[in-house]
Chain A
Amino acid sequence: MAEPLLEVSDLSVAYLTEAADVRAVDQVSFTVDRGEFLGIVGESGCGKSTLLFGVGQLLSPPGEVVGGSVIFRGSDMVRLTGDELRNMRWRDYSVVMQSAMNALNPMKSIGAQFKDTLQAHGSMSSAEIRERSAEVLKLVGIDPTHLASYPHQLSGGMRQRAMIAMALLLTPQLVMMDEPTSALDVVAQRSLMSKIKELQQRLGFAVLFVTHDMSVVSRYSDRVLVMYAGQIAEAAATEEIFEHPLHPYTRGLMSAFPSLRGPRRELLGIPGSPPDLARPPAGCRFHPRCPEVMPVCLSHEPELYPVGGAEVRCLLYAEQAKEAV
């Protein structure tokens, strides 16, 4: 089997504040293969965006990586410093943020923002820069005359696509996306997602896609990570997760989904709310809200147990995993 593109091992990210230290990401491990589309889902506050920025070394104080490693193209990004890291940025991996209106510098034209990226990573002539900039814009379906436009002069959908074009300037192998469709209406969302998938298949880059929207994940991703309270609750291939969700949390998410086909059934939510990560519950972090809670869940923290091709952090499967060994 080919070596994975990205290997995250026991990554932990904490917010070190005057009041308390909060572990937003707690010993998360996963891999991403070349060209793979990995979806990361969870409620707001579960740590998925923090995970993304932790992997990308983009945390701002008071957030910090406090443990683990991120092996990407042979180097551990957590240990890299200064210029080494800077060289990898955008060239090997790029980032697309949630709101282009906020992620694009309002005082610079699109062309200028493309230009400074290209200039930071090599010496292209002005003509080459213009050519490449026009090329990526065309890739996402924007007329290259908009290189002279400012972000506020473009429509919402165009802005998001411009951001994606910018992310592809140096043809990175991995593109990390933090809910890039949340700010759009449903139609624009659909259009943008199919464009992303098309580009992915054409150019072959892997995608790390953070979202709270299960429908996007179900349609476009190869594998899914479900996060809860800073930990991975379940990790499996997309089909597996949607057909046979294992973790009670995942099951709760699925059952909250109205289905267009199939029999009518009651829509259930998940009662309660996510825990305060400054003071997480003892034992399994999901136990206060779990419909299948057992006495042992209150005192024992489950590990990530392999079940078939999936991994589940739930004591329901602890026996199974032990037997399999």
Chain B
Amino acid sequence: MATDAASNTAITEPAAVTDAEVRAEPRRFTRAVLHNRKAMVGAVILLIMVFVAVFPGLIAPYDPQATVGPPNASPSSAHLLGTTQLGQDVLSQLIWGTRLTLWVTVVVSVIATFISMIIGVTAAYIGGLTDRVLTVITDVFLILPVLPLLILLSAYLTPGVSSLIIVLTITSWAFQARQLRSQGLSVRNRDFLVAARVRGERPLYIILVEIVPTMTSLLAASFLALAVFEVGFAASLQFLGLGNSGELMWGTMLYNAQQAAALESGNPWWALAPGLAVAVMGAGFALVNYAFDEIGNPALRPVRRGKRRGRASA
């Protein structure tokens, strides 16, 4: 007769995700990204942008600062996007402006993600009072309205890329701290971490060497989520005149175009093109991020229509 053994069976349910699986995260996600259509479109957009940023000289027809045509000219075969008020080629400006725009976006997103991670994981790992204090600080920064704070901070700094990076980082670091903290909490009591603690490793080592590598997909997702909005925020700030119009970025192009009333009385493409470029770069990051959402949350994945229509109502 079978016995009353307690449930020590050969087929015990495994822990929801094994330690090995947690460490295999990066590989799994890379594979998933390659299969997702949205991710591929977004990735292509971003790769093109990177290429343009790195090799502007190869594509741009003219020197962006030089006067090469009549002022405020409409698009023509010589100037595909027309010219500025000073007769500069808009397309060349757009191409050369990619570099700084992308640079600022990436740098801010990386630094903000990094700070977010340190704060989030430290709060999760150390817990207790440290956790509470860090969480309150994070919450405060999350509520403070971003653009007003950006404007306020920019007023005190010399306009330029460095100031831009500083103020954007200050207002953005809190954005992902919550998610990263949650992830840190869920990983905190894993066996491989307990083993590290028992070995006597210091908290900083554990955080950087053991915990962080398990979060690579979440970190990548955080980076992307931030980048989507940093492009827009940077451009908005410069559009409002808080940037340095001497530096060539899409935002400063917008400012110059607006100052010259390009939409109404000049070459409207001078204003529309950089705006479109900002939107496309944002969309690129957003598409890849959208795919990450789907990968991380299986419920969001696309649904094929089967024999029954979309959703059974019975």
Residue contact B3 to A42, C-beta cutoff 8 Å: no
Is A242 interfacial (CB-CB < 8 Å)? yes
Task: Note all chain A residues with C-beta closer than 8 A to B303.
Answer: 61-62
Is B14 interfacial (CB-CB < 8 Å)? yes
Q: A44 is contacted by which of B2, B8, B14 (Cβ under 8 Å)?
A: B14
Is B199 interfacial (CB-CB < 8 Å)? no
In Å, the complex CA distance between A155 and B170 comes to 45
Task: Note all chain A residues with C-beta closer than 8 A to B202.
Answer: none
Residue contact A256 to B35, C-beta cutoff 8 Å: no
Is A1 interfacial (CB-CB < 8 Å)? no
Identity of the chain A residue whose Cβ is nearest the Cβ of B304 in the assembled complex: A16
Task: Note all chain B residues with C-beta closer than 8 A to A270.
Answer: 10-11
The verdict on A44 contacting B10 (CB below 8 Å), with A62-B304, A257-B2, A261-B3 known, is: no
Residue contact A17 to B301, C-beta cutoff 8 Å: yes
Question: Secondary structure at chain B's binding surface: helix, strand, loop or mixed?
Answer: loop
What 1/0 mask marks residues of chain A from 188 to 222 whose CB sits below 8 Å from any chain B CB?
Answer: 00000000000000000000000011110011000
Task: Note all chain A residues with C-beta closer than 8 A to B13.
Answer: 44, 182, 212
Min Cβ gap B168→A in Å is 36
What 1/0 mask marks residues of chain A from 212 to 255 whose CB sits below 8 Å from any chain B CB?
Answer: 11110011000000000000000000110011000000001111
Task: Note all chain A residues with C-beta closer than 8 A to B8.
Answer: 257-258
Identity of the chain A residue whose Cβ is nearest the Cβ of B11 in the assembled complex: A43
The verdict on A85 contacting B314 (CB below 8 Å), with A44-B13, A212-B12 known, is: yes
Residue contact A186 to B301, C-beta cutoff 8 Å: no
In Å, the complex CA distance between A301 and B7 comes to 32
Min Cβ gap B222→A in Å is 25
Residue contact A258 to B7, C-beta cutoff 8 Å: no
Q: Count contacts between A and B, CB distance < 8 Å.
A: 93
Residue contact A215 to B5, C-beta cutoff 8 Å: yes
In Å, the complex CA distance between A313 and B3 comes to 25
Q: A16 is contacted by which of B306, B310, B314 (Cβ under 8 Å)?
A: B306
The interface centre, meaning the residue of B2, B304, B307 with most chain A CB atoms within 10 A of its CB, is B2
Task: Note all chain B residues with C-beta closer than 8 A to A41.
Answer: 11
Identity of the chain B residue whose Cβ is nearest the Cβ of A214 in the assembled complex: B9
In Å, the complex CA distance between A41 and B6 comes to 16
What 1/0 mask marks residues of chain A from 269 to 300 whose CB sits below 8 Å from any chain B CB?
Answer: 11000000000000000000000000000000
Min Cβ gap B307→A in Å is 7
Is B264 interfacial (CB-CB < 8 Å)? no
Identity of the chain A residue whose Cβ is nearest the Cβ of B5 in the assembled complex: A258
Min Cβ gap B312→A in Å is 8
Is A19 interfacial (CB-CB < 8 Å)? yes
What 1/0 mask marks residues of chain B from 296 to 307 whose CB sits below 8 Å from any chain A CB?
Answer: 000001111011
Q: A213 is contacted by which of B7, B304, B312, B314 (Cβ under 8 Å)?
A: B7
Residue contact A253 to B2, C-beta cutoff 8 Å: no
In Å, the complex CA distance between A268 and B10 comes to 8
Q: List CB contacts (< 8 Å) of A155-188 with chain B.
A: 182, 186
Residue contact A259 to B314, C-beta cutoff 8 Å: no
Is A64 interfacial (CB-CB < 8 Å)? yes
Residue contact A80 to B2, C-beta cutoff 8 Å: no
Residue contact A17 to B5, C-beta cutoff 8 Å: no
Q: B3 is contacted by which of A18, A61, A256, A259 (Cβ under 8 Å)?
A: A259
In Å, the complex CA distance between A307 and B256 comes to 87
Min Cβ gap B211→A in Å is 27
Residue contact A82 to B2, C-beta cutoff 8 Å: no
Task: Note all chain A residues with C-beta closer than 8 A to B11.
Answer: 41-44, 212, 214, 253, 256, 270
Residue contact B3 to A257, C-beta cutoff 8 Å: yes
Task: Note all chain B residues with C-beta closer than 8 A to A17.
Answer: 301, 304
Q: B7 is contacted by which of A80, A215, A268, A269 (Cβ under 8 Å)?
A: A215
In Å, the complex CA distance between A41 and B8 comes to 15
Q: B304 is contacted by which of A18, A81, A243 (Cβ under 8 Å)?
A: A18
In Å, the complex CA distance between A64 and B10 comes to 30
Residue contact A19 to B35, C-beta cutoff 8 Å: yes
Task: Note all chain B residues with C-beta closer than 8 A to A107.
Answer: none
Min Cβ gap A178→B in Å is 13
Is A260 interfacial (CB-CB < 8 Å)? yes
Q: List CB contacts (< 8 Å) of B1-52 with chain A.
A: 1-14, 35
What 1/0 mask marks residues of chain A from 1 to 33 whose CB sits below 8 Å from any chain B CB?
Answer: 000000000000000111100000000000000
Q: List CB contacts (< 8 Å) of B257-295 with chain A.
A: none
Identity of the chain B residue whose Cβ is nearest the Cβ of A87 in the assembled complex: B314
In Å, the complex CA distance between A161 and B120 comes to 39
Residue contact A219 to B307, C-beta cutoff 8 Å: no
Residue contact A219 to B4, C-beta cutoff 8 Å: yes
**10 residue pairs bridging A and B, Cβ less than 8 Å apart:** A18-B35, A41-B11, A64-B306, A186-B7, A212-B12, A214-B2, A218-B3, A219-B4, A257-B5, A269-B10
Smallest CB-CB A-B distances: 5 pairs: A256-B10, A218-B2, A242-B2, A85-B314, A61-B303
Known A-B contacts: A57-B314, A255-B10. Give 11 more (CB < 8 A): A18-B35, A44-B11, A214-B11, A215-B6, A215-B9, A252-B10, A256-B10, A257-B3, A260-B5, A261-B3, A268-B10
